[in-house]
Amino acid sequence: MTRLNDLDLNLLLVFDAILRAGSVTVAAAEVGLAQASMSNALARLRDHFDDPLFVRTKGSMRPTPLAESMAAPVQGALNQLRAAIEGKPRFVAARSSRCFRICMTEIAQRLFLARLLQHFTVHAPNVQVTTVDMFPDATQAALAGGDIDLAVGYFADFGPDFYSQKFFEETYVVMARRGHPAATSSAFGREAYLDARHIVYVPSAASHHNLEASLDREFLRLGRKRNVGLRVAHSLGVSDVVASTDLVLTVPSRLGRVLAEVFQLQVFDLPLAVPAIDIKQYWHTRYHQDPAIAWLRAQFRELFQAQAPALMPSISRIDRAGW
């Protein structure tokens, strides 16, 4: 019985070349073998299949019935192998209907998603997006396993098998209702901020914990304890609370500007020394060369990176923890 394991698969290239050329000499030139080596390869094929495979008739090599029955399967298999080995995968956004899965926090979704989808409407009208919010450990595993394509925001150190690219540095602001008694027209002073009642926004996944921990440490350093009037796990409705009470909310500056425009709130610089954070996109090394994910990363960079293209930072290993 003829078995694939017993056959030198390079001989299939010889078979295909002779089949198409109808000549051992022409086929030898095509596959880069000397005439003697090509004749030896054909002899090995004949011995393996116990069949002449090609017979000379009127100046050309014609396939035997066995060779004819093998022709289509062999050529199809070789074409698939050539496509897999020689053809670099391409991603054509305008024709793609791929669904990208992106890990975004509530805040990141509010900041990025509308503009991203407007961009896709023009450049990739059939591309779909699914957003998820995960704890850092789950995000790391999902990126490595291909369950999500990209993580966007401020996340934990995923280790040496991940890449990141910075979009911008984010600071924090204080939001208060118009006419708040502790605010001036241009500032919310430090003592007023320390005395104010606060809204603590702590979603279930790792989006805002770093800020809250930093604020608590700063209050403690100043010998104070934060007066918390409300703790919420979702941002929906929080702006209405700020607009209708004297509670204050501390949020990333870009989110603060968006909310202030929509809900007519006042936005002030945070009067405490809380470190800024780097907002980045993150991906696993397995997908660094994937053309679809490379295209997705390029869209985020084009839309949201603060620097001009000439100033774009190089890709770096990730080095932060948790927005």
Last residue of a domain, one of 56, 86, 116: 86
d(CA 5, CA 21): 27
299 shares a domain with 160:
yes
Quick one: 16 and 79 in the same domain?
A: yes
Domain assignment present for residue 52? The answer is yes
- Distances in Å between the Cα of 155 and the Cα atoms of 26, 158, 162, 243, 253 are 60, 8, 12, 30, 18
Q: Tell me: do 301 and 260 sit in the same domain.
A: no
Q: Which of 202-211, 250-259, 282-291, 311-320 has the lowest mean pLDDT?
A: 311-320
Q: Is residue 319 part of a domain?
A: no
- State whether 54 and 112 are in the same domain: no
- Summarize pLDDT for 151-207 with one digit per residue, the tens: 998 886 788 899 999 998 889 999 999 999 999 878 899 999 999 999 998 776 655
Is the pLDDT confidence value at 313 over 70?
A: no
Instruction: Provide the number of structural domains found in the chain.
Output: 3
Q: What is the pLDDT of residue 208?
A: 57
Domain-embedded: residue 204? yes
* Residue 113 shares a structural domain with residue 191: no
286 and 223 together in one domain: no
Asked which of 20, 55, 86 is the last residue of a domain, the reply is 86
pLDDT attached to residue 186:
84
- Within a domain: 320: no
Domain contains 190: yes
216 & 178 share domain: yes
Question: Does residue 319 carry a pLDDT above 70?
Answer: no
Residue 210, pLDDT above cutoff 80: no
Domain boundary among 86, 121, 156: 86
263 CB-contact burial (10 Å; exposed 0-12 / middle 13-18 / buried 19+): middle
- Whether residues 163 and 298 share a domain: the answer is yes
Quick one: pLDDT at residue 241? 93
In a domain, 222, yes or no: yes
Tokens of 249: 């909310």
256 and 291 within one domain: no
The pLDDT > 90 percentage for the chain reads 58
Task: State pLDDT tens for residues 9-40.
Answer: 889 999 999 999 999 999 999 889 998 999 99
- Inside any domain, residue 317: no
Which pLDDT band holds residue 41 (cuts at 50, 70, 90)?
very high
Task: Quote the pLDDT of residue 1.
Answer: 55
Q: Are residues 259 and 177 in the same domain?
A: yes
Note the pLDDT of residue 205: 60
DSSP states of 144-186 as a string? Answer: HHTS-SEEEE------TTEEEEEEEEE-EEEEE-TT-TT--SS
Q: Confirm whether 321 is domain-assigned.
A: no
Is the distance from CB of 24 to CB of 18 less than 8 angstroms? yes
Domain match, 256 and 184 both: yes
Mean per-residue pLDDT over the chain, rounded? 86
Give pTM, 2 decimals.
0.70
- Give me the CATH number covering residue 28: 1.10.10.10
pLDDT tens profile 80-133: 888 777 767 789 999 999 999 999 987 788 889 999 999 999 999 999 999 998
Q: Is 61 found in the same domain as 142?
A: no
Q: Which domain holds residue 61?
A: 4-86
Q: CA angle, corner 251, sides to 249 and 257, nearest 5?
A: 100
Give residue 209's pLDDT. Answer: 63
Which of 77-86, 149-158, 207-216, 282-291 is the most confident on average?
282-291
Over residues 233-256, mean pLDDT = 89
**What's the CATH code of the domain at 136?**
3.40.190.10
